[in-house]
Chains A and B, each alone.
Chain A
Amino acid sequence: MTHLSRRTLLKTGAAGAALGFGPAYLRLASAAEPIQVAGIHDASGGIDIYGRPMINSLTLAVEEINAAGGVLGRPIALKNYDPQSNMQLYTQYATEAATKQKASVVFGGIISASREAMRPTLRRFRTPYFYNMLYEGGVCDRNVFCMGSTPAQTLQKFTPFVMKRFNAKTIYVLAADYNYGQITTKWIRKFASENGGEVAQADFFPLDVNDFGPTIRKIQAAKPDMIMSVLVGAAHNSFYRQWVAAGMKDKIPMASTTFGIGNEQVLTSPDEHNGIVVSYAYFDGLKTPENEAFLKKYTARFGEKADAVTEASAMTYHAVNLWAAAAAEAGSVDRDKVILALESGLSFTGPAGKTTIDPRTHHDTLDTYIAEVRDRAYHVLESFPQQPPADTAAVCDLAANPTETKQFVIDVKS
């Protein structure tokens, strides 16, 4: 109780006298100054399809914690910022959250560029940061916790699985032209060649391209055994539509590491998505008691028509709970104490199963799944429990180098 700030003491006034006397303290402290928490996710613009379910989970997790008495007896005051899919606003809001709002923790960031826009700012202001989207791996920063799955956790099992399922030797990769697409493509190349196949060609697209005609003709000429889609965002969604329109749907099978993370299964028709195989650390079709309970609460809170829960959304829920557990264990929301508590190998079992923070990389050990999309739902084909973040662990050791702050581009040898 010694680390309460002067302001808190003044505000709680007479409560100060009661400090340290058990239940009386808890009752009084619930009227204490709230803990500031920030969420920075795109609620509008081209990549809002990823942001909306994440914002829902963040809101739900905070409301639950508050209903249960808050963190350390203090309620959480959540402020949601909408950077509108604009990288400049990410930096601006991260600064605002850290300095003006004085947030104790920030949850947010969607595409890698948005994470990299916020990371240095939050590090400078010593505000712990949780990034909850699956991504290409390699971030090594003691101030950051990456909750989503990385290529070693999904692609390593996924690539051989789809190659076998579709009897495929040659893969044609379509990817968004920024670091997630570029790096993921390298991993696909590596895992394909390790399993006796190859990436025949890889095409990269700016995020606002929505005409895939020429590429579809090129694919028809190349005649690959399968397509791997790493396309991202609303504009790229039209690929699936144009693919069907060109009559290619049943001719070449498709796998993806991005289809569904923006709830594309709801936005496209069954004709367009049936049979696409994907891999993530979470599906809303998981039949675990934790997930069913979570989905019930989610639907009760946001209605039947709310955006379906994605991996990024489920991991946001895990992140908030992990941070709250760490603060409780540390007895403080102070950055260094919370980070130490998280590094003690803290884990949380929630909708996405058991996730444990790996102290060396600040990434998650998590369960991954492979599923097929059929009629707007995911049918799990295979599961791989407790996958370590092996790719990032190969380049990052925060225990040995706690001052490391960069994103390694993992040297992928194919």
Chain B
Amino acid sequence: MDYALIVLLQLVVTIANLALISAGLAVIFGMMRIINMAHGEFLMLGGYAALVSHQAGLNLWLAIFVAAPVTVGLIGAVLERLVIRRLYGRMIDTMLATWGVSLALVGVVTVIFGNRVSGISPPLGSVPIGGYAIGLYELLTTGVTALLFLGGWYVLRRTAVGLIARGAMQNRDMAAELGVDPAKVYATTFVTGAAISGLAGALIAPITGVAPSIGAVYIAKAFITVISGGTAILTGALSASALLGSVNTAFSFVMTPVLGEVALLAAAVLLLRVLPQGITGRFFRRSL
């Protein structure tokens, strides 16, 4: 019984982690059709922002929830202004440009911090469940991920900002006719996506540590999740995370961790073969 519970919790944590590392990418891809190859580096920068501000004396929670998203959001704003803005609607070009940005970011961070893993121990300790235990911090990240998705849903569905954003994405010219400045909406969206990635990177940092090259560990999984999810930002990322996370966890438990990773990739390939538009291309089509 305890074991079933702990396995279930692990499953939820794995799914939430996938959703968390994919969220920022999903926002940028889902709303702007921009494939942000620097997404892994945004996560990495979030980790460093939290780590550095915490080591400089900032409270850990402020470092994670304020310093990291603000820093990465600002970096996102600069990049949007200098690079992304010039390439709207040219998907291949944005891929190449953001790939270049990602290489540059890895280089700059390596020069500043050195190519080594730094980190802080996860706070909060653990909760015992029968004879087992699970880290409280891991459960907290799961909770934060849930709040993040709920918040996203609320903003998009229930607020004027969300309405304008959805409108500008659906029909740029019509929105412009109605007095919305699409450039502004796009910029805000990109910055929001970057800030969410920064928060995600900061949340993961105490569990895995940060290194300049750590983005590479996440980027493939984040891409697979977002592409498998399809066009709907929130439902897509969540449903793909749930599916791929379950496959990964199940195979890791029953077989080996190596096969867990393989199974995740194989499941994504199969899924895209059957549903080329991703999960939300067929199901939950009217969702966000």
Partner of B118, one of A242, A267, A272: A267
Q: Is A206 an interface residue (CB 8 A)?
A: yes
User: Is B121 among interface residues, defined by CB-CB distance under 8 A?
Assistant: yes
- Does B276 touch A at the CB level, under 8 Å? no
Interface residue stretch chosen among B87-95, B186-194, B257-265: B257-265
CA distance A69 to B207 in the complex (A): 51
Asked whether any CB of chain B lies closer than 8 Å to the CB of A164, the reply is: no
Inter-chain contact A209/B257, CB cutoff 8 Å = yes
What does the 1/0 interface line of B134-154 toward A look like (CB < 8 Å)? 110110000000000000000
Q: Which residue of B lies closest to A51 (CB)?
A: B115
CA distance A221 to B207 in the complex (A): 21
Min CB–CB distance B4 → chain A (angstroms): 11
Pick from A46, A217, A242: contact of B253, CB below 8 A: A217
Minimum CB–CB distance for B258 against chain A, Å = 6
A92 contacts the other chain (CB 8 A) = no
B64 nearest CB across to chain A (Å): 15
Interface-located stretch among A245-253, A354-362, A368-376: A245-253
Among B117, B120, B258, contact of A204 (Cβ-Cβ < 8 Å): B258
Closest to A246 in B: B135
**Cross-chain contact A177 with B213 (CB below 8 angstroms):** no
Q: Contacts A218-B253, A246-B134 given; indicate if A49 touches B258 (C-beta within 8 A).
A: no
**CB-defined contacts of A48 to chain B, threshold 8 Å:** 115-116
Residues of B within 8 A of A221 (CB): 3, 6, 132
Q: Which of A110-118, A191-199, A233-241, A339-347 contacts B (4 or more CB under 8 A)?
A: A233-241
- The distance in angstroms between the C-alpha atoms of A237 and B6, with both chains bound, is 23
A214 touches B121 (CB 8 A): no
Instruction: Tell yes or no: B7 within 8 A of A by CB.
Output: yes
Cβ of A245 and Cβ of B211 under 8 Å apart? no
- Residues of the B chain whose Cβ atoms lie less than 8 Å from the Cβ of A271: 121
Within 8 A of B (CB), among A244-268: 244-248, 251, 267-268
Report whether B217 and A237 are in contact in the complex, using a CB–CB cutoff of 8 Å. no
Chain A contacts of B252 at CB under 8 A?
Answer: 214-215
Using CB atoms, name the residue of chain A closest to B123: A245
B125 at interface by CB-CB < 8 Å: yes
Contact yes or no, B213 A45, CB < 8 A: yes
Interface flag for B161 (CB, 8 Å): no
* Interchain CA distance A355-B206 in the complex, whole Å: 41
A234 lies within 8 A of B122 (CB): no
CA distance A242 to B213 in the complex (A): 20
A205 interface hit (Cβ, 8 Å): yes
B110 & A245 in contact (Cβ 8 Å cutoff): no
> Which residue of B is nearest A266, CB measured?
B116
A241–B206 CB distance below 8 A: yes
Q: Which listed segment binds A: B10-18, B31-39, B277-285?
A: B10-18
> What residues of A have a CB within 8 angstroms of the CB of B53 in the complex?
none
- Measured in the bound complex, the distance between the Cα atoms of B209 and A235 in whole Å is 8
In contact, A44 and B119 (Cβ under 8 angstroms): no
Taking a contact as CB atoms under 8 Å apart, the answer to whether A272 and B261 are in contact is no
For residue A289, CB closer than 8 A to chain B, the reply is no
Residues on A with beta carbons closer than 8 Å to the beta carbon of B7: 217
| Interface residue? A334 (CB, 8 A) | no
In the complex, what distance in Å separates the CA atom of A5 from the CA atom of B121?
59
A238 lies within 8 A of B14 (CB): no
Chain B: interface residue total (CB-CB under 8 A): 45
CA–CA, A214 and B261, complex, Å:
12
Residue pair A269, B121 in contact (C-beta under 8 Å): yes
Q: How long is the Cα–Cα vector from A238 to B120 in the complex, in angstroms?
A: 11
Q: Mark A42-79, 1 if CB is under 8 A from B, else 0.
A: 01111011000000000000000000000000000000
Contacts between the two chains (Cβ within 8 Å), count:
121
* Contacting residues, chain B, for A211 (C-beta < 8 A): 14, 17, 208
| Residues of A with C-beta under 8 A to B3 | 221
**Complex alpha-carbon distance, A46 and B209, angstroms:** 13
* In-complex Cβ contact of A210 among B14, B127, B208, B248 (8 A): B208
Q: Does B216 contact A (CB under 8 A)?
A: yes
B13 touches A213 (CB 8 A): yes
Chain B residues with Cβ under 8 A from A414's Cβ? none
Bound-state CA distance A46–B127 (Å) is 32
Query: Which residue of chain B is the closest to A247 with respect to CB atoms?
Result: B126
- Verify B115–A235 contact, CB threshold 8 A: no
Contact assessment for A245 and B207 in the assembled complex, using a CB-CB cutoff below 8 Å = yes
Give Cα A211–Cα B126 distance, bound, in whole angstroms: 17
Q: Which residue of B lies closest to A237 (CB)?
A: B117
Minimal Cβ-Cβ distance residue in B for A233:
B117
In the bound complex, how far is the Cα of B253 from the Cα of A366, in angstroms?
Answer: 41
Instruction: Determine if A397 is an interface residue (Cβ-Cβ < 8 Å).
Output: no
Which residue of chain B lies nearest to A217 when distances are taken between CB atoms in the complex?
B10
B22 at the interface (CB under 8 A from A): no
How does the 8 Å CB contact mask read for B106-119 relative to A, with 1 for contact and 0 for none?
00001000011111
Q: B133 within 8 Å of A by Cβ? A: yes
Residues of chain B from 206 to 254 with CB closer than 8 A to chain A in the complex: 206-209, 211, 213-214, 216-217, 248-249, 252-253
Q: Is A208 an interface residue (CB 8 A)?
A: yes
Chain A nearest CB, measured from B127 CB (Å):
8
Known: A210-B214, A238-B209. 14 other contacts (CB 8 A): A48-B116, A49-B116, A203-B257, A204-B258, A214-B248, A214-B260, A215-B252, A217-B7, A217-B134, A238-B208, A241-B206, A242-B207, A246-B133, A268-B119
| 6 A-B pairs closest in CB distance | A247-B126, A245-B135, A214-B252, A247-B133, A245-B122, A238-B208
A-B contacts, 19 of them at CB < 8 A, read A49-B116, A205-B257, A206-B261, A209-B257, A210-B208, A211-B208, A214-B248, A214-B249, A217-B6, A217-B7, A217-B253, A221-B132, A234-B117, A238-B209, A241-B206, A244-B121, A245-B122, A267-B118, A272-B121
A residues adjacent to B (C-beta < 8 A): 43-46, 48-49, 177, 203-206, 208-211, 213-215, 217-218, 220-221, 223, 234-235, 237-238, 241-242, 244-248, 251, 267-269, 271-272
Chain B: residues with CB nearer than 8 A to chain A? 3, 6-7, 10, 13-14, 17, 110, 115-122, 125-128, 131-135, 137-138, 206-209, 211, 213-214, 216-217, 248-249, 252-253, 256-258, 260-261
